[in-house]
Amino acid sequence: MTSDYRTMWRELNLDLNAHDALLNVLGQGYQDVFMNQRNRPEGMKYFDFVMSEVHGLRIRELLDVKKANRKIIGSFCVFVPEELVRAVDASLVGLCTGADFAMEKVEQYLPSSTCALIKSAFGFKLGKVCPYIESVDMIVGENTCDGKKKSYELLGALVPNLYVMDLPQVKSLKGRELLQCEYMRFKAKLEELTGTTIGVDNLKKGIGIVNKKRAAVQRLAKLRKAVPAPISGLDALLTNQVFFYDDPQRFSDSVNKICDELEQRIEQGLGVTPPDAPRILLSGCPMAVPNWKLPALIEQAGAVIVGEESCVGERGSRHLTDDSGNTLAELMEAIVERYFQIDCAIFTPNQDRLEHIRDMAREYKADGVIHYGLQFCQPYQIEARTVEESLKEDSIPVLLIETDYSMEDAGQLSTRINAFLEVLEQ
């Protein structure tokens, strides 16, 4: 990172010493987890570059966007409709929630029994180490789980630009109406913020941009059904994580380039692991950068992750938005339709998710499912039992993991993963 970036970070009011420490840990972690893998697709070099510049060049690009009088929106959830953000020519970025930081400060605000993802969002803000949260013009919070909902009351006092979106908890007619009202309110907020009115043309354009990047990750996901798997779960996860940061056009092109390469590999019967490596489907809470602990342990144990039933994965990207409508009302309806299908564990009941996990396990030829629940995440932890029961009906072995962002339980997790893989081999 050049000294130029230091000036930029200083102007964003980051704590430079703490930020240096974070980048060192991030850089080393990336090196250990990603660069030691074998048979990586050439196209992953782009993602290595993106990660090396995730707080540098990408932030500079976003600041240039602002200079051009366009807005940057930050979010924590896949329920924020990016189509509307792109329609007003603004950018959407995911905010940092994947590592522990400034925990002593965080626990002055939040109970220690709060999930690591929420604590992380506060830690990056309080520790002054996230250039994204310092760059955005508006932060969108959402009333999903109780932890997030209540924590936004406190986050609102720490940032000047928080906007909270209400969300349904039940997939009923009333729930759908609530989502529609909230998306109309969000549309009006974006129009007020940017001075741009959303109409048929710019909304169609916005839908097109977002569909294109979702289609690219869907294409990549499909290629992972091949035996042997042509790409590691870690590399695929990384593309799903970068999905939330990168310029959408460049991201789509880069993912499609990897897909071209993977198609050739599949034709030649080449994989990243031997064909008999156990195939794992990961299911559960989202994994934001740099949360790579569990996938790294799974793949270091000799298995390959072939899919993620997660918001940083297929739950977040499996549906495209229908852009065939000719009126604003039709296009808004298509957006509501698309997002109302997201089967996050905050919904009750949540039968669709159970079916989706079973379908994925079958389609991706998974030998077993590892369910990842963050400690203190009630929605996913409670639903884990139902997931286990549902998979048992298809005789699919399941391992339930409860963990956080620390490395303290890495040894214990490794032992459990190895034992699970032995069961699968039998």
Interface positions with ligand BJ8 (CB under 6 A):
77-79, 115, 117-118, 144-145, 147-148, 285-286, 311, 342, 344, 346, 374, 377, 379-380
253 or 402, CB closer to ligand BJ8?
Answer: 402
CB of 345 to ligand BJ8, least distance (A): 7
94 or 248, CB closer to ligand BJ8?
Answer: 94
CB of 65 to ligand BJ8, least distance (A): 24
344 or 401, CB closer to ligand BJ8?
Answer: 344
CB of 96 to ligand BJ8, least distance (A): 13
CB of 106 to ligand BJ8, least distance (A): 14
41 or 141, CB closer to ligand BJ8?
Answer: 141
204 or 318, CB closer to ligand BJ8?
Answer: 318
CB of 314 to ligand BJ8, least distance (A): 12
CB of 107 to ligand BJ8, least distance (A): 16
Please state whether the peptide bond connecting residue 286 to the residue before it is cis, i.e. omega within 30 degrees of 0. Answer: no
117 or 303, CB closer to ligand BJ8?
Answer: 117
What Rg do the C-alpha atoms of the chain give, in angstroms? 21
202 or 218, CB closer to ligand BJ8?
Answer: 218
**What does residue 309 show for φ and ψ, rounded to 5 degrees?**
-90, 85
Among 316, 318, 320, 334, residue whose Cα is nearest residue 208: 320
Q: In three state form, how does the secondary structure of the chain look? A: CCHHHHHHHHHCCCCHHHHHHHHHHHHHHHHHHHHCCCCCCCCHHHHHHHHHCCCCHHHHHHHHHHHCCCCEEEECCCCCCHHHHHHCCCEEEECCCCCCCCHHHHHHHCCCCCCHHHHHHHHHHHCCCCHHHHHCCEEEEECCCHHHHHHHHHHHHHCCCEEEECCCCCCCHHHHHHHHHHHHHHHHHHHHHHCCCCCHHHHHHHHHHHHHHHHHHHHHHHHCCCCCCCCCHHHHHHHHHHCCCCCHHHHHHHHHHHHHHHHHHHHCCCCCCCCCCCEEEEEECCCCCCCCHHHHHHHHCCCEEEEEECCCCHHHHCCCCCCCCCCHHHHHHHHHHHHCCCCCCCCCCCHHHHHHHHHHHHHCCCCEEEEEEECCCHHHHHHHHHHHHHHHHCCCCEEEEEECCCCCCHHHHHHHHHHHHHHHHC
CB of 286 to ligand BJ8, least distance (A): 5
43 or 286, CB closer to ligand BJ8?
Answer: 286
CB of 204 to ligand BJ8, least distance (A): 25
339 or 420, CB closer to ligand BJ8?
Answer: 339
CB of 237 to ligand BJ8, least distance (A): 15
